[in-house]
Amino acid sequence: MWKNLKGYFIVEEPGKGAGTKTKLPDKQPKSTTSAPAAPPAASSSAAAPVTGRVSGKFEDALLQAMERANLPGFDYLEYKKSLQNLQKMNFDEAMRFQTAYAAAQSMGVTPQQLTESAAHYLQALKTEQDKFTAAVQKQQDDQVGSKQNELKRLDALVSEQEAKIAALQEQIAKTRTRQQQLQQTIGESRQKIQATAADFRKTYDTITGSITADIEKMRQYLK
């Protein structure tokens, strides 16, 4: 059933597909000279925020979480399906909400039960968000934190080697090349993590925004 839920919450913008992959810059070639390379530029701590997009992968995961949390009987999900089916009718919004509620009312479902079940699905999605946030933090620690510590160690090594510049000039050039590689690896890892987190936030906000709007409309129209 979760595949059928897609059309209830995600509305694709015209002309937009599933997105394209961004090609990352090629690694810098090895230096062919023995002269010391220029020190790597400091990373900017005020990077621009990443704007997410609705991700099919996260959309599936969140909707599957809603399906796992599906309550028995006629609840918000069934009500949402009724609303979706009424889109083809020439009804205004209030009429669609009231018409869809007529079927629920015949089964003894109240507006309060509908809004409470909608809140139940919001909580299920919040649980998924908490798990995802913990996973992102672990990736941040594993893929960025350890490499930053390695970069600091290499900075200290360069300072030590520069004291023996005459004898160790070639070794210093190799070490600085490794520094540049680590800087690039850190940037690539951070970009991937931020893009993944932004995709999840966009997908999560889109689905929860739809549910929250429905709750407000149910409170407004179903009295």
The pTM score is 0.54
Q: What string of DSSP letters covers 2-38?
A: HHHHHHHH--PPTT--S--PPPPPPPPPPP-SSSPPP
Amino acid at 22: T
Tokens for 180, please give them: 């540049």
Each residue's pLDDT, cut to its tens digit, for the chain (223 residues) gives 545 676 677 655 545 544 433 333 333 333 333 444 444 444 444 567 778 888 888 888 888 888 888 888 888 989 999 988 888 888 899 999 999 999 889 889 999 999 999 999 899 999 999 999 998 888 888 877 778 888 888 888 888 878 777 776 777 778 888 889 989 999 999 999 999 999 999 999 999 999 999 999 999 998 7
Residue with tokens 């099919």: 56
> b/e map of 76-105 (b: 16 or more CB within 10 Å)?
bbbbbbbbbebeeeeeeeeebbeebbeebe
